[in-house]
Amino acid sequence: MLAVKEIMTEDSQGRQSKHKRLWLVLSLLAVLLIVLIVPPMLSISRYKSRITQLMSASLGRPVRLSSVELRLLPRPGFVLTDLTVEEDPTYGAEPVLHANSVTASIRLLSLWRGRLVIDTISVDEASLNLTRTPDGRWNLDSLFHTAAIENQAAAGAAKQPTPLPYLEATHSRINFKNGVEKLPFSLLDAEISLRRENPGEWRIELRGQPARTDLSLEQADTGIMQLSATLHSAAHLREMPVNLDMEWKNAQLGQLTRLLLGSDSGWRGDLTGNLHMEGTADAAHIKTRLRAKDVHRAEFAPAAPMDFDANCSFVYHFSSRGFESLLCDSPLGDGRIRLAGDLPGDLSGKVGAPHLSLEMDKIPAQVGLDALRTVRSNIAPGIEAKGSISGKLTYDESVSVANAESVAVAEKPTSHRAGNAHQVKVATPVPGPLSGSFTVLGLQLNGGGLSEPIQIAKLVLEPVVAADDQQAPPNALTATAVFPLGGASPLTVTSHFALTGYQMTVRGQASVARSRELAHAAGLPYADALDTLAGEPISVDLSVEGPWLPIERLPVNAIGSAAAAATSTAADAVSGTSSSADRLTGTIVVRNANWKGDFLANHLEISQATLHFGDGETRWDPVAFTYGPVKGTASLILPANCQAPQPCLPQFEVDFGSLDASALQAAILGAQEKGTMLSTLIERLHPSSSAPAWPQSEGTVKADSMVLGPVTLHSATATLRILDNGVHVTALDASLLGGHVHAAGSLYEPSNDQKKPAYMVEAQFEKLAPAAVGQLVAEHWSGGSFDANGKIELTGFTATDLSATAKGLMHFDWQHGTVAGAVPAALARFDRWTADAVVGSGGMKLGQNEAKRGTQSAAVEGNAVFGTPNKVTFAMPKEALAK
């Protein structure tokens, strides 16, 4: 029996194997018949227009394509070339979709029924534009609206509705537009799918990488966005019931802020966000979760980076832009923060009253410092904060309106007797919409070079009452901190903080040492200038205000002087910002201090100096100083904003009493300085020199009297510009030798082939006293006024170099003069002597000249040799009688 069963089993298996082979052969024959029979029955040109009409009807947009090709394997369908889906003119002129190549798969059985049904449309490397109009409508609205109308019409006619094909796109790009303006945001390498699972129900899947076209971003750090949504048909897109889940993962905070805000806010950490939405756009129930790890500022790595896990839920109304039942809660450090309330927006033209509450419970003070670094990035990373913030703040506009109405009723005027007619009315404070307070306990700032921490046991931030402080911004918080900084009186800082900006006043005294520590700890520019400043405590009376987000300003020329350094330090110390939108006013007074710049040989002693801020400039005025044997007063103006194409140089004015050039030289160069005064000064004016460069500036120097060797200038005023290529004296006016001198000149830096500096002097002398001029050359001259003018060029450092290289021309005119001694007879007495002289070869030689006496005239030969003393010699010329 077993043998018979085995034989029967083998026969059965053999027959089954034959049947399988038979079916396989029949299937192959069927495929061959389709391949042979179907193509001749198809007209590609016929189906090109049919496909265009079908896609246009399904998408509700005009569709254009260049060509259609039939494809049977691996799945029957059409290959469309250069597909363009036009845009509704309401949303713009740019196409909604463009793809070079598209595959449209068809349902094979529909061909046997005489109908063409597209099952799937697949595109690769396509460009899709999503447009939103100013009134909040999207260009996809008409797509779903058209499909819904067609389905309703087909259902009413008892016909099979035209199904929307399955749409999918890979390696594509999604662009976002606001009206006709294309936004810089886009999704790259996007994968999209859109299908209709049931009549009136769509399923959308989206995955892509957020990008920004106007910035260079590390694309790998912007994260990946994934979206999955189900939509149901409705008359308008905002009325469609939606069930949506979105995840944004692997985003780095620095690149994310650059993506969203256009600049890196300085935060670091890894971020993951989730969003779930149910309902319609007009009543969307939304839940979000935002998780971040290792959150810290980019400037430093804290000992304990922050992690937070924020969960929010709210109802969003698209039409009114309103939020309802907002609730956000998150642990932060060792504390917790909670935000709740409603933002009704505009409901049917009636504005609702916003209501929000912010509650903090033991939030670390370091969080507040890090938040401040976001808008004031120049705060030094070395500063750390200790302490905690707790409290609750509520914003309710309805309460503010009720308070204003109640105060108005209370202050309603009533009848008074005549005796009270002139009674002064005092305004009643009106509480604003803000109520509550935040308390900072145990605040301590340390690190950053502070020798002692700044400690404030308790700091309370509470709303500002408008009647109490008219200067405070609306809806602001105020806080006052008092702490000693080494002065006779403590430093008092009063601050007002609003959403848009801040105001701050600083009054009191601070020691120079503590001021220096704060400047370095806060990372202020030119803080190094305070390292060599010493003296009595500084008196401060300053006010500063500005927006939170600074406006970038043009860089100000670096000033290598005490005044400029102290100016920048003081201004930035108070404002904490380099923003030109911040406005600083007030004064800083320095007394009995001394300071030394790198380019000076000795300390500058300051008996008193006042620094003024305001009116778009920073001004030191007055500054009473002593520099060695030299005493004087000065003022310095540093322009805050410069719109001119040329750089705005600091403006200075220095006044001296009696000034001796030799004393000034000793003060500037020092007793041990080698070389000459000119050589060292030029070294420091040269920017490429190893010696510290002098600051670029322009201004006026005045002196009651200035001794220049054998001559003395009286009431001298010089206007000069100190630039990177030298010093330019634009004008010099002074009383000299009983007359007046007006001069101008330049001192140029050495060139590559010329190692020594070059000078140019051009001067005019008017009404000089002949006796005083004669003393310069050890001669006895007398007579009327002596006028001269000339231009001389010189090269070198020492007096020998200058006299040897001097060259130029001189001209003088002397009225009614007498030259005593062994001189030509024409010079013994003359009515007028005019002469030209050539300067060169270490001296000056008379050229064409004429000495007149009555009707007689004569030419004189002579020359002068530069030295100590100067020597003048004359030759005895032949006398000639004039006609």
pLDDT at position 13: 60
Q: Which domain holds residue 839?
A: 737-875
Residues 206 and 100 in one domain: yes
Tokens 């069930």, residue located:
243
pLDDT at position 572: 41
Cβ neighbours of 608 (radius 10 Å): 15
pLDDT band at 646 (very low <50, low <70, confident <90, very high): low
Pick the last residue of a domain from 182, 214, 246.
Answer: 214
Residue type, 280: T
Q: Residue 69 in contact with residue 176, Cβ under 8 Å?
A: no
pLDDT band at 578 (very low <50, low <70, confident <90, very high): very low
Dihedral (Cα; 454, 458, 462, 467), 10-degree rounding: -80
Residues 165 and 56 in one domain: yes
Q: Mean pLDDT highest for which of 230-234, 721-725, 874-878?
A: 230-234
Residue 109 lies in a domain: yes
pLDDT > 90 in the chain, percent: 21
Q: What is the mean pLDDT of residues 635-647?
A: 72
Residues 778 and 640 in one domain: no
Residues 753 and 607 in one domain: no
Q: What is the mean pLDDT of residues 635-654?
A: 77
Residue 258 lies in a domain: no
Q: Residue 767 in contact with residue 787, Cβ under 8 Å?
A: yes
Residue 390 lies in a domain: no
pLDDT, one tens digit per residue, over 207-219 is 999 988 887 777 6
pLDDT, one tens digit per residue, over 791-830 is 999 887 666 777 788 899 999 999 999 988 878 888 889 9
Q: Residue 64 in contact with residue 86, Cβ under 8 Å?
A: yes
Q: Mean pLDDT highest for which of 37-41, 232-236, 378-382?
A: 232-236
Residue 432 lies in a domain: no
Q: Is the pLDDT of residue 784 over 80?
A: yes
Pick the last residue of a domain from 214, 240, 260.
Answer: 214
Q: Is the pLDDT of residue 380 over 90?
A: no
What is the CA angle 553-693-568, rounded to 5?
A: 35
pLDDT at position 765: 94
pLDDT at position 554: 33
pLDDT band at 604 (very low <50, low <70, confident <90, very high): confident
pLDDT at position 447: 81
Residues 514 and 643 in one domain: yes
Number of domains forming the structure of the chain = 3
Residue 881 lies in a domain: no
Residue 71 lies in a domain: yes
- Note if the bond before 622 is cis, omega within 30 degrees: yes
Q: Residue 294 in contact with residue 307, Cβ under 8 Å?
A: yes
Residues 615 and 757 in one domain: no
Residue 463 CA to residue 134 CA, distance in Å, equals 36
* Residue whose C-alpha is closest to residue 385's, from 331, 318, 444: 444
Tokens 């670029």, residue located:
696
Residue 604 lies in a domain: yes
Q: Residue 477 in contact with residue 463, Cβ under 8 Å?
A: yes
Which two three-digit tokens encode residue 73?
């394997």
pLDDT > 70 in the chain, percent: 71
Longest CA–CA separation in the chain, Å:
172
pLDDT at position 22: 67
Q: Residue 768 in contact with residue 789, Cβ under 8 Å?
A: no
Q: What is the mean pLDDT of residues 379-397?
A: 87
Residue 488 CA to residue 490 CA, distance in Å, equals 7
DSSP H helices, 249-311, are 253-261
The region of weakest confidence among 136-145, 228-237, 590-599 is 136-145
pLDDT at position 77: 76
pLDDT at position 55: 75
pLDDT at position 644: 58
Residue 168 lies in a domain: yes
Pick the last residue of a domain from 176, 195, 214.
Answer: 214
pLDDT at position 48: 75
The secondary structure of 847-877 as a DSSP string is EEEEEEETTEEE--EEEEE-SSS-EEEEE-P
Which two three-digit tokens encode residue 595?
């300071």
- Output b/e per residue, 85-121; b: 16+ Cβ within 10 A: bbbeeebbeebbbbbeebbbbbbeeebeeeebbbbbb
The secondary structure of 668-730 as a DSSP string is HH-TT--S-HHHHHHHHH-TTSSSPPPPPEEEEEEEEEEEETTEEEEEEEEEEEEETTEEEEE
Looking at per-residue confidence, does 711 or 15 come out higher? 711
Which two three-digit tokens encode residue 311?
């969960």
Q: Is the pLDDT of residue 551 over 50?
A: no
Residues 745 and 643 in one domain: no
Residues 512 and 620 in one domain: yes
Residue 90 neighbours by CB under 8 Å, 6+ apart: 133
The region of weakest confidence among 308-322, 681-695, 717-731, 784-798 is 681-695
Residue 116 CA to residue 109 CA, distance in Å, equals 9
Q: Residue 651 in contact with residue 699, Cβ under 8 Å?
A: yes
